Structure 1
């Protein structure tokens, strides 16, 4: 993913990340995620330490943005396989954000999965969260408030 966002090859990305890790500028962590099955992945975290963070470096980091992602139409956006466990009673290939946005938002908010919530915020319309915020059985007031805040902020 680092390579894709930086617009470089995966081999180059690994070399650069290893150099940055040796310099203490990034840190590699391992997390277990659900992608159909539990799977361990590497997560790289930027370490912002005063000894290397100069004004010039901070300015460069702020001015560097990843290439714009290829925009998909709402109809093309599917729920990623890594969230399959949140939709155990639904065929993921049948879900899309345009036609099933509110149902996807409700299912994700009910499970309180931060990675899934982050994905939903980036991929669902505000209307999906507005519908999810409506009072419903089994949905706590906190979940409704969160859905309402997300809908307003988008």
Structure 2
């Protein structure tokens, strides 16, 4: 009889411990999905498939950060993720100020063509959202559309860029 009571008590303890552990763990059901993913019109391949949960798509943040030019700092003890722009530039503004030429932004193309002006700290090569382009001591006003696609014909007319550059 004692063995039966001990067995019953032990079974209840094990059962309640299992229920307590289950109560602290939350499970969700999500689906892996395949998406076409692009950054500034350039198709990208994700190494890890996105998850879809309750109609919301969750992307792997480290991969997306790298694709968009951000660095990622992860702190497990604080449970924090910090995205930082690389090179000291305001990437959010730069992403708005895009004209893709041969898969590069206008600034990237000009930085390659004029490397002496491409130092991020001296602001000798910059493009503002209102179309003002600075290259060294020269200023150019570039017409643009609502998507911040800039017309580079003034740069071709001024011989800053050639048709071959495009």
Q: Which TM-score applies when normalising by structure 2?
A: 0.25
Q: Which TM-score applies when normalising by structure 1?
A: 0.26
Structure whose alpha-carbon radius of gyration is higher: 2
| Highest RCO, 1 vs 2 (Cα 8 Å, sep ≥ 6) | 1
More strand by share: 2
More helix by share: 1
